[in-house]
């Protein structure tokens, strides 16, 4: 029991540091944890920005250590500029870019990382009134969800 308690304390500390250092918000649900990472995309683009790589690396470290068997979902989002069809495709390309990085660079198993696009879904926009080249960066993002988390791995 002491080992589990120490491991949970380490997980709590790792999540707190992730939140503090990278301004990540973490939402805990019954069977998942949703991370709103500051991983943003330029207008009309699906390429990862170099400044967003460190938070993905830290996220990968935490998931690999504490939830190595969890299923991870990468959610892609856009602002409202463009057609809904275009934005669904762009959100998917953004989610796919993050998945590719997590699998090829960090070493996640491909079958354990899935992607979904919500495009410009108004219920999921951070700032619904912002869209376009000069605004709406917070809407052009990904979120990462650890599914079926259960208890953190003890050993």
Burial status of residue 87 (CB atoms within 10 A of its CB: 0-12, 13-18, 19 or more): buried
pTM over the 0.75 mark: yes
Mean pLDDT of 107-131: 84
Domains of the chain: 2-147 (3.30.1330.60)
Residue percentage of the chain with pLDDT more than 70: 88
Task: Please tell me the predicted confidence (pLDDT) of residue 123.
Answer: 77
CB–CB of 58/21 below 8 Å? yes
Looking up tokens 């959610």, which residue turns up? 75
Task: Please tell me the predicted confidence (pLDDT) of residue 154.
Answer: 45
Residue 4 parent element (H or E): helix 2-22
Comparing 152 with 87, the larger pLDDT belongs to 87
Cα distance between residue 124 and residue 128, in whole Å: 8
Q: What is the CA radius of gyration of the chain?
A: 16
Task: Please tell me the predicted confidence (pLDDT) of residue 100.
Answer: 98
- E strands, 16-66, where? 25-28, 32-36
CB neighbour burial string for 137-146, b if at least 16 within 10 angstroms, e if fewer = bebbbbbbbb
- E strands, the chain, where? 25-28, 32-36, 71-77, 113-119, 142-147
Residues contacting residue 42 through CB under 8 Å, at least 6 positions apart: 49, 140
Cα distance between residue 29 and residue 149, in whole Å: 9
Task: Please tell me the predicted confidence (pLDDT) of residue 126.
Answer: 74
Helix, strand and coil percent figures for the chain, each rounded to 5? 45, 20, 35
């Amino acid at each position: 029991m002491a080992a589990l308690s120490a491991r949970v304390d380490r997980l709590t500390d790792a999540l707190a540091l992730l939140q503090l250092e990278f301004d990540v918000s973490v939402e805990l649900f019954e069977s998942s944890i949703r991370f709103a990472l500051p991983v943003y995309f330029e207008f009309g683009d699906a390429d990862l920005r170099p400044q967003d790589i460190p938070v993905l690396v830290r996220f990968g470290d935490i998931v690999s250590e504490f939830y190595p068997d969890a299923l991870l979902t990468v959610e892609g989002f856009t602002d409202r500029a463009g057609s809904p069809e275009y934005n669904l495709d762009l959100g998917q390309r953004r989610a796919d870019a993050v998945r590719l990085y997590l699998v090829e660079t960090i070493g996640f198993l491909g079958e354990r990382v899935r992607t979904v696009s919500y495009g410009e879904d108004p219920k999921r926009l951070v700032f619904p009134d912002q869209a376009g080249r000069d605004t709406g960066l917070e809407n052009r993002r990904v979120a990462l969800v650890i599914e079926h988390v259960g208890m953190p791995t003890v050993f």
